Amino acid sequence: MALIDGMSRLLIDGKLTPGGAGGFATVNPATEEVLGEAANADAVDMDLAIDAARRAFDGTDWSTNTALRVRCVRQLRDALQGHVEELRELTIAEVGAPRMLTAGAQLEGPVTDLGFAADTAENYEWTQDLGHATPLGIPTRRSVVREAVGVVGAITPWNFPHQINLAKLGPALAAGNTIVLKPAPDTPWVAAVLGELIAEHTDIPPGVVNIVTSTDHALGAMLAKDPRVDMVSFTGSTATGRSVMADAAATIKKVFLELGGKSAFVVLDDADLAAACSVAGFSVCLHAGQGCAITTRLVVPRARYDEAVAIAAGTMGSIRPGDPTKPGTVCGPVISARQRDRVQSYLDLALAEGGEFACGGGRPADQPAGFFIEPTVIAGLTNEARVAREEIFGPVLTVIAHDGDDDAVRIANDSPYGLSATVYGADADRAAGVAARLRAGTVNVNGGVWYSADVPFGGYKQSGNGREMGVAGFEEYLETKAIATAAN
Ligand code: NAD
């Protein structure tokens, strides 16, 4: 790996620096081998990073120089594209991402999407003229100005790290903010390379982007609490999101949250059951189920429950978890021993709750090393079971029976989460009617794809606040100022 030679560095105030707490190992989840060391920041580093971001926002023209920002975001995209093959190998090695996914959301998609953020800033109507009026009898000219929020603290997880890091960096920078990025300790290098490319291949001024890798989750909490930070943009679990929101409360900073999910795949009774259930089974295996929007509850007509379970198990039982470097691998490892054990504890819980496995149920015998879990179908439970209500974040599908469209909608919506959903049905109008009743931020009908730079993504209920991507995702990083000038 030429971008990082065994040791990565922090980016603080434009300089690549070692971590105050030394280094920590980053591990290949498919082999359990140590790839090398990441810089381990301490609280002093985080303080310096916040200070640098604050000074860059307050003391430079970054927030008002749109042309500079557009150029810089495009430079970052070009630098990433220029190193895409090295980044691909790094992503496969550190994230355990199957090679095939690096052509999309695991790498190339979010890199290309930086162009959307730059284009949005370039074409944005920063000032809107509302014209003259006489509110309270006083002749006034009114305009509405959109401007950057200020210093953004970005806190990200490990599952799709390029996608999540860049879907924050791109719009936040294009909108005129400065940033401190604190990535997950499980995937530090994919964030650290951003620091190296920014420092060496872009005109992004010192302090505008700071990248702080660390094993210490408390550095994330520092970002949420610090009065110098104007906004915290968090992606991760709902439990941590709750803590971030509480920490941000003292300073009333803007809080943007992309959290967990337990999304439903609803199969209506006129659907092609074989097609629907095999798509559901296949998609839960992608990246070993470590996607917040993956549909992990398969909600099928009661009369065809056994058939649906058999189809899903046929698909998932035929997908062997394995080497993510191979082009044909769909299901790689989960990120860590901790995550593997967490998934296993949910599998144990499924049995304790009275469920049964139609396939899978544990660690694959043919993978002695690496954090692998067999694709698993859980049958025989209702939507009340904990494995149907809590996020497992592994290749695990729970199949639930419904008694018609109204009941399917009730079950799909009976969740603390509301991130995504899928509906399959032969009658397109009926399927669209069901989709309209689902309380979720994105809905796929009959295989439609919502993942795209111009489509807002985010959650209802405890899946989050706000939207990432699309123009809505750009506007999350803007304040709104109304200017009223007395006129005669
Ligand atoms: P996590 O919540 O454990 O950690 C996320 C980040 O928060 C990490 O950088 C971590 O260091 C940091 N952190 C931990 N404690 C903190 C605290 N008290 N204050 C501030 N920061 C803190 O999540 P994870 O295990 O890394 O990722 C998996 C979770 O992310 C899943 O729940 C998944 O659904 C969710 N996720 C959501 C989306 C989305 O867009 N909705 C996308 C991807 C992942």
Query: What tens-digit pLDDT sequence spans the chain (488 residues)?
Result: 467 888 899 999 999 999 999 999 999 999 999 999 999 999 999 999 999 999 999 999 999 999 999 999 999 999 999 999 999 999 999 999 999 999 999 999 999 999 999 999 999 999 999 999 999 999 999 999 999 999 999 999 999 999 999 999 999 999 999 999 999 999 999 999 999 999 999 999 999 999 999 999 999 999 999 999 999 999 999 999 999 999 999 999 999 999 999 999 999 999 999 999 999 999 999 999 999 999 999 999 999 999 999 999 999 999 999 999 999 999 999 999 999 999 999 999 999 999 999 999 999 999 999 999 999 999 999 999 999 999 999 999 999 999 999 999 999 999 999 999 999 999 999 999 999 999 999 999 999 999 999 999 999 999 999 999 999 999 999 999 999 999 97
> 375 in ligand 1 pocket by Cβ < 6 Å?
no
- The C-alpha atoms of residue 149 and residue 158 are separated, in whole angstroms, by 26
In 3D, which of 144, 150, 184, 149 has the Cα closest to residue 164?
184
C-alpha of residue 271 to centroid of ligand 1, in Å: 36
Q: Does the domain spanning 264-445 belong to CATH 1.10.730.10?
A: no
Whole-angstrom distance, CA of residue 239 vs CA of residue 280: 27
Q: Which atom of ligand 1 is nearest to the CA of 157?
A: 26
Ligand 1 atom, smallest distance to 419 CA? 41
pLDDT digits (tens, 9 = 90+) for 330-380: 999 999 999 999 999 999 999 999 999 999 999 999 999 999 999 999 999
| Phi, psi for 202 (deg, rounded to 5) | -135, 165
Q: Is 307 a catalytic residue?
A: no
Q: Which amino acid is it at 131? A: G
Out of 37, 258, 374, 476, pick the active-site residue: 258
133-136 CB contacts, 8 Å cutoff, 24+ apart: 135/484
- For residue range 46-59, what is the model confidence (pLDDT) as tens digits? 999 999 999 999 99
The DSSP H or E segment spanning 54 is helix 43-59
Ligand 1 centroid to 301 CA: how many Å?
34
Query: Domain 2-259+463-485 is classified in which CATH homologous superfamily?
Result: Aldehyde Dehydrogenase; Chain A, domain 1 (3.40.605.10)
- Check: pTM over 0.85? Answer yes or no: yes
Per-domain residue ranges of the chain: 2-259+463-485, 264-445
State which ligand 1 atom lies nearest to the alpha carbon of 258. Answer: 41
Residue found under tokens 């505008």:
208
